[in-house]
Amino acid sequence: MKPTRQEQRRKTAFLALEDGSVFRGYAFGASCDAVGEVVFNTGMTGYQEIMSDPSYAGQFVVMTSPEIGNTGVNDADMEADRYYANGLIVHELNSPSSWRSENSLTASIESHAKPALGGIDTRGLTLKIRSCGSLKAYMAVSGSISEKEAIAKAAAWEGLDGQDYVSRVTCDQPWVWNENDSLTRFWGMTDSLPPADMRLVAYDFGIKHNILRHLRMSGFSVTVVPARTPADEVLAMKPDGVFLSNGPGDPAALGYAVDAARMLIGKIPLMGICLGHQILAQATGAETYRLKFGHHGCNHPVKHLQTGKVEITSQNHNFAVNTDTIDMNSIEITHINLNDGTVEGLAHRRASMFSVQYHPEAGPGPHDSNYLFRKFRDIIAS
């Protein structure tokens, strides 16, 4: 339930940043302190998909929309089996008012043992992140630590740079996506699935359920494999194509994934999304770098260079591919971000391989880029 006005005015919890700044508010969710990197997301809703997206592991998400919680939560919109973001930060926490709601945001956050802060000056916090870049922080909700101690803990935390967070979120064993779950629970459809006539292996670097839904709707039978699965084991499964998923952390720390991708290029059709895009870029010799405050939201304009069309996209990443390190003899830049000119899409000039930095499955977000899943199928069929 929504905290009372009296509880909100107390502002007994706080967020301590590594630079010494403190933002005060009230706690909701689980009563456990946590460390994380603070990023902001510009979506007006989608907080449940954000919290359950493994790509947000290690991060506190600030929702820039001032009112959060209106749509509640439900099982169908989960992007994974649990919440992976380290915590949530909002300004005004609202009670649910939606026919799809099965639970309140407060109760859901608590059931997943994640802390959250309400009553925060999210506009001021967002402006700080835009000015200073993503910051390490300590979320104090238990009442057991001073602000000075929390600031010190935030500064001492190792952060995300150079860290392999994929190993913390990937599956332990290969598994097959349940095709009966693809549409019936998410869109209420029962008879719209095409035959699964193409076999696909998907690397789980933190894969979202909505990606699996779209792959299945495109006619793929999807087997998900752990992030450290060697390329020869994947090829031995004799798939028609290989997919590299989204995921958290620093792409430069994933040498094992880059080695596997390098072995697969030219041997089988490949598609990558987000972290998968960065891994494929590294496998072709490019380098990645950290963005100042990343791209997090569902309204980022991306230009398709071949057609000139602009797609409104959903994005969630802190790192990007360095344009200057791309081998233009073998790799073509297919998409660019119209806000800052960063690389949003790549394609191999000779091998069957392409990737995008954004999320065409868009959970949450627009559907402008859904065609990319059909494009992958067409490449395999050609």
Active site positions, annotated: 274, 359, 361
Record the tokens describing residue 188, joined without a space: 């209420």
d(CA 370, CA 44): 21
- Quick one: how many helices (H) and strands (E) in the chain? 11, 19
Work out whether strand 331-337 and strand 343-348 pair parallel, antiparallel, or are unpaired: antiparallel
d(CA 176, CA 204): 12
Beta bridge partners of 175: 224
Q: What is the number of other CB atoms lying within 10 angstroms of the CB of residue 41?
A: 26
Are the CB atoms for 92 and 66 separated by under 8 Å?
Answer: yes
Report in angstroms the alpha-carbon separations of 69 from 26, 91, 93, 104, 329: 15, 11, 6, 7, 49
Length of the chain counted residue by residue: 382
d(CA 26, CA 13): 5
The DSSP result for 97-109, as a single string, is --TT--B-HHHHH
The structure tokens 């935030």 sit at: 154
Are the CB atoms for 276 and 242 separated by under 8 Å?
Answer: no
The structure tokens 């598994």 sit at: 175
